[in-house]
Chain A
Amino acid sequence: MTEIDPLKAGHAARREVDAPHSLVLSLPADRPLMMDAGVALAPLTIAYQTYGTLNADKTNAILVCHALTGDQHVANTHPLTGKPGWWEIMVGPGKPIDTDRYFVICSNVLGGCLGTTGPASTNPATGMPFGLDMPMVTIRDMVRAQALLVDQLGIGKLFCVIGGSMGGMQVLQWAAIYPERVFCAIPIATAPRHSSQNIAFNEVGRQAVMADPEWAGGRYFELGKSPTKGLAVARMAAHITYLSDEALHRKFGRKLQNKTAPTFSFDADFQIESYLRHQGSTFVERFDANTYLYLTRAMDYFDLAEDYDGSLARAFKDTKTRFCIVSFTSDWLFPTSASRSIVHALNANSASVSFVEIDTDKGHDAFLLDVPDLLATTSGFIESSARAFGLTEAKSA
């Protein structure tokens, strides 16, 4: 595996935690966030990015919710990796989420490591990183924090809330607890609850992190350590679940990496091994290990129906929000059956719902990729919703 300089990795990531290259909302100690864990978190910092211009009526805001390892840098160069934003295929001028027309907001989730309060943030009480002293975070906590930000921006009702995977969970949570603040919702490649299989995958990842001696009970920053090996393994395992067997076979097959014959060793002979090692080693340069633990746990705890006496339909009772639900045929992590259960719950409320299963072999990651049907579906739905919401075209193409 590529050697990683733990100090370098730690330092770069540390800088973004307490001094992010982002807009920052700092809520004072007298405005705590009431968390599901029963803790009032204060002070709270929320790091976020915006694109486009908020109109005078403040009616053209679209909130993008990011996935497990995403962040607020949707459509700008990433401050740590130097790479383009993670959803530039979807967000930008003339894109389905058209920044010439809409005011796009994305905040780093609560528990994240790109500037919003999380386990890597400095605990004002101790002057040291929270580590495992950070209260356990839920999807609902993330959404409550986002609502505080939306309040602060003076926006009453969001035109649209959109996100994939863990971002999709946040979209569902938004629609459930703030129905009057969401005109339309686009949950993509997601589920109303995390499945047993998905909890199992997350547990493997967490155990990989915690089995790394450098993790040191979560106090690695103070001890000058960095559990990069464990985190890289977690990322490698998770990355497999984001792809489909077909896509892996098409991309890598059994091809060897820069050689013509196997070496009869445990080097990365196969291209797929080399690819995964690369994924692991680049991930640890931008992501905090404890954040990985907290956010995977938040997904595990997500079960929207449970908050409504086991009835998912009740979570969306009499909702006026317009939904567009999207799944992908080759996504086995968040399969179409999960999306269909959301559709059934919405139908039980006679809600306005569109549901599209998109044929692709790109697996769960399809929501991040150039999948023409996804872009056409999203832009068609947003366009018709904008008409229904009375948003007139700001600039014609």
Chain B
Amino acid sequence: MTNATQYFAADSARIDLIVVKDMVAANTRVLDIGCGDGTLLRMLAEERGVDARGMELSQRGVNDCVAKGLSVIQGDADTDLADYPDDSFDYVILSQTLQATRNPRRVLEQMLRIGKRAIVSFPNFGHWRIRLQIMFAGRMPITENLPLAWYETPNIHFCTIRDFVSLVDEVDGQIERAVALDPSGAPMRVNAPWWIWNLFGEQAVFLLERRA
């Protein structure tokens, strides 16, 4: 888990933050895990009146956030979520970071425990361009949004949209909303079937809650 923005192209990729922001109700309490330089925290605080807290692994990111007056701690999604009591937050957000955690399943479980809702965004490894690169080049894919080679990427646990949907089911979560973004960052047709999303969605954003 690092400052996500440095691993993703700056222009199109962070549109997912807008999608995430729009899923958060006003005047709620939010924890953003892997908050990077605090862009989302700021948007949430300023535009939604949210009590926004952040956790970030990189020291530089934390220092920048705190100097900007954001409430951020240095911490690791894999180890530091266990301290929080149940239902500490209305939303726990993990944007473009799940694939960089050591134990994504455990992280997702913790998110659904300490948050009433969880919002997760991640790059879809099932996108057709990635499938084509593996199929025809026989190499680990390098794309605009995933620009680093396999040996230097912090992303150690890639998944497809379908993979994620089944993980949600395994950890007793349920999907309240889901949005796939095409390579231009535009949300895809809501009623498209899963296989379309899994093939053409470059990123996905999920709003989750515990299964009742």
Question: Which residues on A are within 8 Å of B, measured CB to CB?
Answer: 322, 324, 343-344, 347-350, 352-359, 373, 376-377, 379-381, 383-385, 387
**Residue from B59, B65, B85 within 8 A of A350 (CB atoms):** B85
Chain B nearest CB: distance from A217 CB in Å?
48
**A-binding segment of B73-81, B117-125, B172-180, B191-199:** B73-81
Interface positions, chain B 13-59, Cβ under 8 Å from A, are 29, 51, 53, 59
Q: How far is the CA of A305 from the CA of B37 in the complex (A)?
A: 34
Q: Are A324 and B66 in contact (CB under 8 A)?
A: yes
B145 at interface by CB-CB < 8 Å: no
Chain B nearest CB: distance from A7 CB in Å?
50
Question: Closest residue to A377 on the B side, CB-wise?
Answer: B66
Q: How far is the CA of A182 from the CA of B84 in the complex (A)?
A: 23
Question: Closest residue to A344 on the B side, CB-wise?
Answer: B83
Chain B residues near A385 (CB-CB < 8 A): 69
Q: Are A347 and B80 in contact (CB under 8 A)?
A: yes
Chain B residues near A376 (CB-CB < 8 A): 63, 67
Chain B residues near A343 (CB-CB < 8 A): 73, 75
Q: How far is the CA of A207 from the CA of B106 in the complex (A)?
A: 51
Q: Are A359 and B59 in contact (CB under 8 A)?
A: yes
Chain B residues near A384 (CB-CB < 8 A): 68-70
Q: How far is the CA of A344 from the CA of B29 in the complex (A)?
A: 18
B72 at interface by CB-CB < 8 Å: yes
**Residue from B69, B75, B83 within 8 A of A380 (CB atoms):** B69
> B interface, by DSSP: helix, strand, loop or mixed?
mixed
> 5 A-B residue contacts at CB 8 Å?
A348-B84, A353-B71, A354-B70, A356-B62, A356-B66
Q: How far is the CA of A16 from the CA of B63 in the complex (A)?
A: 40
B88 at interface by CB-CB < 8 Å: yes
Q: Are A383 and B69 in contact (CB under 8 A)?
A: yes
Question: Closest residue to B89 on the A side, CB-wise?
Answer: A350
Q: Are A377 and B67 in contact (CB under 8 A)?
A: yes
Chain A nearest CB: distance from B102 CB in Å?
19
Q: How far is the CA of A344 from the CA of B80 in the complex (A)?
A: 8
Chain A residues near B62 (CB-CB < 8 A): 355-357
Known: A344-B83, A350-B88, A352-B71. 6 other contacts (CB 8 A): A343-B75, A350-B29, A350-B84, A356-B63, A380-B67, A384-B70
User: For this complex, into which size category does the number of interface residues on chain B fall?
Assistant: 20 to 34
Question: Closest residue to A386 on the B side, CB-wise?
Answer: B69
**Residue from B66, B83, B84, B88 within 8 A of A381 (CB atoms):** B66
Q: Are A354 and B63 in contact (CB under 8 A)?
A: no
Question: Closest residue to B60 on the A side, CB-wise?
Answer: A359
Q: How far is the CA of A231 from the CA of B67 in the complex (A)?
A: 40
Which residue, B67, B72, B74, B75, has most C-beta atoms of chain A within 10 A?
A: B67
Chain A residues near B67 (CB-CB < 8 A): 373, 376-377, 379-380
Interface positions, chain B 76-100, Cβ under 8 Å from A, are 80, 83-85, 88-89
Chain B nearest CB: distance from A336 CB in Å?
9
Q: Are A348 and B85 in contact (CB under 8 A)?
A: yes
Chain A nearest CB: distance from B31 CB in Å?
9
Chain B nearest CB: distance from A46 CB in Å?
33
Q: Are B72 and A354 in contact (CB under 8 A)?
A: yes
Q: How far is the CA of A358 from the CA of B60 in the complex (A)?
A: 9
Q: How far is the CA of A283 from the CA of B84 in the complex (A)?
A: 45
Chain B residues near A354 (CB-CB < 8 A): 65-66, 70-73
Chain A residues near B29 (CB-CB < 8 A): 350
Q: How far is the CA of A343 from the CA of B89 in the complex (A)?
A: 17
Chain A residues near B83 (CB-CB < 8 A): 344, 347-348
Known: A377-B63, A384-B69. A357 touches B74 (CB 8 A): yes
Q: How far is the CA of A295 from the CA of B197 in the complex (A)?
A: 66
Q: How far is the CA of A347 from the CA of B84 in the complex (A)?
A: 5
**Residue from A353, A373, A381 within 8 A of B69 (CB atoms):** A381
Known: A347-B80, A358-B63, A373-B63. A380 touches B68 (CB 8 A): yes
Q: Are A353 and B59 in contact (CB under 8 A)?
A: no
Chain B residues near A353 (CB-CB < 8 A): 53, 71, 73
Q: How far is the CA of A324 from the CA of B63 in the complex (A)?
A: 11
Q: Are A387 and B63 in contact (CB under 8 A)?
A: no
**Residue from B65, B71, B72, B75 within 8 A of A322 (CB atoms):** B71
Q: How far is the CA of A54 from the CA of B88 in the complex (A)?
A: 37
Chain A residues near B59 (CB-CB < 8 A): 356-359
The 5 nearest A-B residue pairs measured at CB? A384-B69, A380-B67, A355-B73, A347-B83, A376-B67
Q: Are B69 and A355 in contact (CB under 8 A)?
A: no
Chain B nearest CB: distance from A350 CB in Å?
4
Chain A residues near B73 (CB-CB < 8 A): 343, 347, 353-355
Chain A residues near B85 (CB-CB < 8 A): 348-350
Chain A residues near B89 (CB-CB < 8 A): 350
Q: How far is the CA of A355 from the CA of B69 in the complex (A)?
A: 12
Which residue, B51, B62, B73, B84, has most C-beta atoms of chain A within 10 A?
A: B73
